[in-house]
Amino acid sequence: MCIVNFLILSLGSTDANAMFSKRFYKEKSIYVMELKVDGRAEEALKQIRDRDYAGKYIDYARSHGLALHTVGISFSSEGRCIEDWKEEMIVPGRE
């Protein structure tokens, strides 16, 4: 298991940007994530699709050879943990 250190630069209805420790991170993918507390991971993915959260990253991902993923995450407030997550690849990256 690998723990990655990150710093959230902005939050809210805008993007949350994170800087990952270069010790663990190499820029090969872009991840667009939605977190649902006491919801379902599929609901989170549906929200990403319905609101086109990943749309603004498609051209950048393609032009830089990066994979673009959407990730829906279900977090349990009772168990205080991730209960489920689902991922979809929107743009395949180059190796």
DSSP string covering 57-81 = GHHHHHHHT-EEEEEEEEEETTTTE
Of 56, 86, 89, the residue nearest 71 (C-alpha):
86
- What mean pLDDT comes out for the span 70-84? 89
pLDDT band (50, 70, 90) for residue 93: confident
pLDDT band (50, 70, 90) for residue 2: very low
65 inside domain? yes
pLDDT on residue 15: 52
The range of the structural domain enclosing residue 45 comes to 27-91
7 inside domain? no
Q: What contacts 12, CB < 8 A, 6 or more positions away? A: none
19 inside domain? no
**pLDDT digits 0-9 by tens, 6-62:** 434 334 454 555 544 444 455 678 888 888 889 999 999 999 999 998 888 899 889
16 inside domain? no
Number of domains into which the chain is organized: 1
5 inside domain? no
